[in-house]
């Protein structure tokens, strides 16, 4: 069994009447890139803040790098890097000044800091803009600076909260290259995102919705679970076909993609294409089984608007969307 | 907030502020040791304009007390008091700290007060001497109000600007998101507080240089003291305001709130500190509140050093109070500051 960088049991956080995170269990192995995939308001940021000791959990237990959190949060702070969702360096300081300041805060020696800053400026292609004010940089440049600062003190664990939400696809790809370099050097990385293409790059994924963990596993395992349940329909009047498809009990979701309609069927449906063909009663439609995508996994896991439980890789029943029936199952 | 603050301030300031000056602390130096001197002293006391708080043996001691701010004036009776009284000459001399024109005006009002020097003789019978006393106005003989106001203004301006600087500092970082990053680093709360405070000390020094420099240049306010003494009284005051601002910054959740807290604090600093209305004239309760304000202490310090040429050593209680205030505010702010987002 691999060593765990983070383990959490029944982790919960409530703000007044709002339950932001509800009974999440986590086991994140050392050295992996672990993704939190979920829409806005799914509890990703709250979860990350609890894991790095910024928020006190309302319930549950957390161990990060072998430390009790939040009790030993102060010790943990020397070992982690944190990149906040919002750019949180100083807009009115230059690239170099921001880095020097944070190096001093982390207690790096003058000499050590100077060497490390040069190394990072080089690695993150910031050398040419060391005198540029952080506030005057583009989204991609800021995010490279934020990553450089988060790794100044060579942390063994990195928390990245939606690091690429303001970045174009090319910069996003470069950014992920840097993350794989860090991961290769042994850094454990926890990254939250709402982009499917980013989620696909993670070693392991947790799908979050309204504070609940809906599904967990490697992207491949999550995709395999959906095999034979995605059907693509080509033909005329797709809007009407979609309406009819959504009324069928075995159809979980239907989304139009250009000239095709992508239909996701519930777990346990045998011969998905046959089922649809039999029930849609339209001989002009062309139906074919399709490769599931991570978006399908996401929709399947989060019940995609139709309120029925889905099953995770471990075939444990995930709690349904509304919490009242959740209590009924528990 | 909406109801209580105007209500509180109206009642407080309505009662506290008065332009009728009473109970000015004075000293008496009696070189004659005579019953006449005691009779005159008693008559001066019952006017209630002054409050005799000290007796000194020599005029030199009394002058020193005036410089130190212990008393605002001293009444000196000469050795030959009896002869002077018989000859119809003024019976004593007032040494008056003239820097505050309101106080000196009240004391000048005593110059021609009617005296009766022997038991049984009604007041006003002693008409020979007019005026009854000689008055020597120290530090501001022309009775220019700007002499008192310009040094006092430093207290008001520094309170307003410095408190605001630090009051918005932490809140601004919280609003901008910088704080979320800072608190995930090993930084200690006290380090953060001191780091926020120290740069503004230099800002404060620049400000006071400008205010006092212009005060001398434009308003011709004489600087009687030494720069070292000026620094010794100003630095604790700057630190006190900055540490108070830091406390506000830990209390407020938005920059707007931090500003409101600062302004809530500003009004008593202007009205009760002795800047506009003499401290001695205020009722006891208002004086207790005034004692809490750094501006009150600095008002005494800066006027002492700047106008009367006092040494920092003579003003030690006020300096120590400001240092203590700084330490307490800093401690509370540090304790209130949590490295979490709960």
Domain borders along chain B are 20-138, 145-336
- Residue B184 is nearest to which of A82, A86, A91, comparing CB atoms? A82
Q: Is A92 on the interface with B (CB under 8 A)?
A: no
| Per-residue pLDDT tens digits for A148-178 | 999 999 999 999 999 988 788 888 899 999 9
pLDDT at B68 (0 to 100): 93
Q: Are the beta carbons of A90 and B339 separated by less than 8 Å?
A: no
Residue B228: partners with Cβ closer than 8 Å, 6 or more residues away: B312
Span A132-147, average pLDDT: 93
Whole-angstrom Cα distance, residue B232 to residue B322? 11
Residues A172 and A200 in one domain: yes
Residues A180 and A272 in one domain: no
Closest to B341 (Cα-Cα) out of B188, B180, B185: B180
pLDDT at B240 (0 to 100): 97
Closest to A222 (Cα-Cα) out of A318, A321, A320: A318
Mean pLDDT, chain B, integer: 90
Q: Are the beta carbons of A88 and B187 separated by less than 8 Å?
A: no
- State the CATH number of the domain containing residue A316: 3.30.70.2070
pLDDT at A270 (0 to 100): 82
Span A261-273, average pLDDT: 87
Span B293-317, average pLDDT: 94
Q: Are the beta carbons of B187 and A80 separated by less than 8 Å?
A: no
- State the CATH number of the domain containing residue A206: 3.40.50.300
Give the 3-state DSSP-derived string for chain A, with helices as H, strands as E and coil as C.
CCCEEEEEEEEEEEECCEEEEEEEEEEEECCCEEEEECCCCCCHHHHHHHHCCCCCCCEEEEEECCEEECCCHHHHCCCEEEECCCCCCCCCCEHHHHHHHHHHHCCCCHHHHHHHHHHHHHHCCCHHHCCCEHHHCCHHHHHHHHHHHHCCCCCCEEEEECCCCCCCHHHHHHHHHHHHHHHHCCCEEEEEECCHHHHHHCCEEEEEECCEEEEEECHHHHHHCCCCCEEEEECCCHHHHHHHHHHCCCEEEEEEECCEEEEEECCCCCCHHHHHHHHHCCCCCEEEECCCCHHHHHHHHCHHHCCCCCECCCCCECCCCCHHHHHHHC
Among A196, A217, A238, give the residue marking a domain's end.
Answer: A217
Interface test with A, best of B176, B182, B184, B195 (most A CBs within 10 A): B184
| Per-residue pLDDT tens digits for A28-57 | 999 999 999 998 889 999 999 999 999 999
Among A217, A245, A266, give the residue marking a domain's end.
Answer: A217
Residue A12 has pLDDT above 90, yes or no: yes
CA B148, distance to chain mean position in Å, is: 11
Residues in chain B with CB shorter than 8 Å from the CB of A107 are: 186
Q: Is A98 on the interface with B (CB under 8 A)?
A: no
- Residue A106 is nearest to which of B185, B340, B341, comparing CB atoms? B185
Count CB neighbours of A147 within 10 A: 21
Whole-angstrom Cα distance, residue A26 to residue A6? 7
Span A226-252, average pLDDT: 89
Residues in chain B with CB shorter than 8 Å from the CB of A89 are: 178, 181
Confidence of residue B7 (pLDDT cuts 50, 70, 90): confident
Q: Is A93 on the interface with B (CB under 8 A)?
A: no
Calculate what percentage of chain B has a pLDDT beyond 70.
Answer: 96
Looking at the complex, report in whole angstroms how far the Cα of residue B330 sits from the nearest Cα belonging to chain A.
Answer: 20
Sign of torsion, CA B223 B225 B228 B229?
negative
Calculate what percentage of chain B has a pLDDT beyond 90.
Answer: 70
| Per-residue pLDDT tens digits for A183-201 | 999 999 999 998 888 899 9
Q: Are the beta carbons of B176 and A91 separated by less than 8 Å?
A: yes
Residues A183 and A255 in one domain: no
| Per-residue pLDDT tens digits for B235-255 | 999 999 999 999 999 999 999
Residues in chain A with CB shorter than 8 Å from the CB of B184 are: 52-54, 77, 80, 82
Residue A233: partners with Cβ closer than 8 Å, 6 or more residues away: A241, A245, A260, A261, A262, A263, A276, A280, A285, A286, A287
Confidence of residue B127 (pLDDT cuts 50, 70, 90): low
pLDDT at A303 (0 to 100): 67
Among A217, A234, A263, give the residue marking a domain's end.
Answer: A217
Least confident of A305-309, B133-137, B239-243: A305-309
pLDDT at A329 (0 to 100): 33
Confidence of residue B118 (pLDDT cuts 50, 70, 90): low
| Per-residue pLDDT tens digits for B29-87 | 999 998 889 999 999 999 999 999 999 999 999 999 999 999 999 999 999 988 888 87
Residues A150 and A254 in one domain: no
Whole-angstrom Cα distance, residue B280 to residue B283? 8
CA dist list (Å): B58 to B24, B29, B74, B134, B263: 20, 6, 11, 17, 46
The neighbouring-strand residues paired with A233 are A261, A287
Instruction: Label residue B268 exposed, middle or buried (CB < 10 Å: 0-12, 13-18, 19+).
Output: buried
3-class DSSP state of B289 = helix
Calculate what percentage of chain A has a pLDDT beyond 70.
Answer: 91
Domain range enclosing A52: 4-217
| Per-residue pLDDT tens digits for A69-115 | 889 999 999 999 999 999 999 999 999 999 999 999 999 999 999 99
Domain count, chain A: 2
pLDDT at A326 (0 to 100): 34
pLDDT at A313 (0 to 100): 38
Residue A310 has pLDDT above 80, yes or no: no
pLDDT at A107 (0 to 100): 92
More confident residue, B121 or A21: A21
- Residue A84 is nearest to which of B177, B185, B340, comparing CB atoms? B177
Q: Is A88 on the interface with B (CB under 8 A)?
A: yes
- Residue A84 is nearest to which of B180, B187, B340, comparing CB atoms? B180
Per CATH, is B20-138 categorized as 2.60.40? no
Residue A322 has pLDDT above 70, yes or no: no
DSSP B36-75: HHHHHHHHHHHTSSEEEEEEESSHHHHHHHHHHTS-SEEE
Span A110-130, average pLDDT: 95
Confidence of residue B126 (pLDDT cuts 50, 70, 90): low
Residues A240 and A151 in one domain: no
pLDDT at B180 (0 to 100): 92
Would you call the peptide bond into A70 cis, given omega within 30 degrees of 0 as the criterion? yes
pTM for this predicted structure: 0.85
Confidence of residue A311 (pLDDT cuts 50, 70, 90): very low
Mean pLDDT, chain A, integer: 87
Residues A30 and A105 in one domain: yes
pLDDT at A319 (0 to 100): 40
CA A121, distance to chain mean position in Å, is: 27
């Amino acid at each position: 069994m691999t060593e765990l960088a983070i383990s959490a049991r029944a982790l919960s956080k409530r703000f007044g009447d709002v339950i932001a995170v509800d009974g999440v269990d986590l086991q994140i192995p050392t050295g992996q890139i672990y993704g939190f995939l979920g829409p806005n308001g799914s509890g990703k940021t709250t979860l990350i803040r609890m894991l790095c000791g910024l928020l006190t959990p309302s319930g549950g237990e957390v161990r990060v790098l072998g430390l009790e959190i939040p009790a030993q949060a102060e010790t943990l702070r020397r070992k982690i890097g944190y990149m906040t969702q919002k750019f949180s360096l100083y807009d009115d300081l230059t690239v170099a000044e921001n880095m020097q300041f944070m190096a001093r805060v982390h207690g790096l020696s003058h000499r050590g800091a100077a060497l490390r800053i040069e190394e990072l400026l080089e690695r993150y292609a910031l050398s040419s803009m060391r005198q540029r004010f952080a506030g005057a940089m583009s989204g991609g440049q800021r995010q490279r600076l934020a990553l450089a600062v988060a790794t100044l003190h060579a942390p063994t664990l990195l928390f990245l909260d939606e690091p690429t939400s303001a970045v174009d696809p090319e910069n996003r790809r470069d950014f992920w290259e840097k993350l794989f370099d860090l991961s290769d050097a042994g850094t454990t990385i926890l990254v939250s995102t709402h982009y499917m293409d980013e989620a696909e790059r993670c070693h392991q994924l947790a799908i979050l919705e309204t504070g609940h963990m809906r599904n967990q596993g490697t992207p491949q395992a999550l995709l395999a679970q959906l095999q034979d349940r995605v059907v693509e329909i080509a033909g005329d009047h797709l809007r009407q076909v979609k309406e009819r498809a959504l009324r069928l009990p075995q159809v979980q979701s239907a989304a139009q993609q250009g000239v095709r309609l992508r239909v996701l069927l519930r777990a346990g449906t045998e011969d998905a294409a046959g089922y649809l063909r039999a029930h849609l009663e339209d001989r002009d439609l062309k139906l074919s089984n399709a490769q599931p995508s991570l978006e399908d996994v996401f929709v399947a896991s989060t019940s995609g608007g139709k309120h029925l439980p889905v099953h995770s890789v471990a075939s444990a029943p995930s709690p349904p969307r509304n919490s009242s029936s959740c209590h009924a199952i528990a | 907030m909406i109801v209580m603050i105007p209500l509180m301030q109206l009642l407080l300031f309505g009662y506290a502020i008065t332009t009728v000056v009473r109970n000015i602390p004075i000293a008496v130096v009696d070189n004659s040791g005579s019953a006449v001197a005691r009779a005159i002293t008693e008559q001066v006391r019952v006017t209630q304009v002054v409050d005799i708080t000290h007796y000194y043996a020599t005029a030199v001691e009394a002058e020193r007390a005036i410089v130190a701010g212990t008393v605002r004036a001293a009444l000196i009776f000469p050795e030959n008091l009896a002869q002077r009284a018989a000859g119809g000459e003024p019976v004593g001399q007032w040494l008056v700290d003239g820097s505050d024109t309101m106080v000196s005006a009240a004391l000048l009002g005593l110059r021609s007060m009617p005296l009766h020097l022997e038991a049984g003789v009604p007041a006003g019978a002693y008409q020979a001497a007019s005026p009854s006393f000689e008055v020597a106005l120290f530090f501001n003989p022309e009775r220019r109000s700007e002499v008192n106001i310009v040094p006092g203004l430093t207290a008001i301006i520094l309170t307003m600007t410095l408190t605001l600087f630090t009051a918005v500092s932490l809140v601004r970082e919280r609003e901008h998101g910088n704080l979320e990053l800072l608190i995930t680093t090993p930084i200690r709360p006290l380090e953060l507080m001191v780091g926020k405070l120290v740069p503004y000390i230099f800002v404060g020094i620049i400000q006071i240089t400008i205010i006092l420099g212009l005060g001398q240049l434009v308003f011709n306010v004489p600087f009687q003291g030494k720069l070292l003494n000026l620094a010794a009284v100003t630095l604790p005051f700057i630190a006190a305001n900055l540490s108070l601002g830091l406390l506000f910054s830990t209390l407020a959740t938005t920059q707007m709130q931090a500003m409101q807290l600062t302004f809530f604090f500003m009004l008593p600093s202007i009205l009760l500190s002795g800047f506009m209305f003499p401290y001695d004239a205020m009722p006891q309760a208002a004086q207790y509140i005034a004692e809490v304000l750094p501006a009150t202490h600095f008002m005494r310090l800066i006027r002492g050093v700047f106008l009367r040429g006092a040494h920092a050593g003579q003003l030690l209680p006020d300096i120590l109070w400001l240092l203590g205030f700084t330490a307490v505010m800093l401690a509370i702010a540090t304790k209130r500051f949590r490295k979490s987002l709960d």
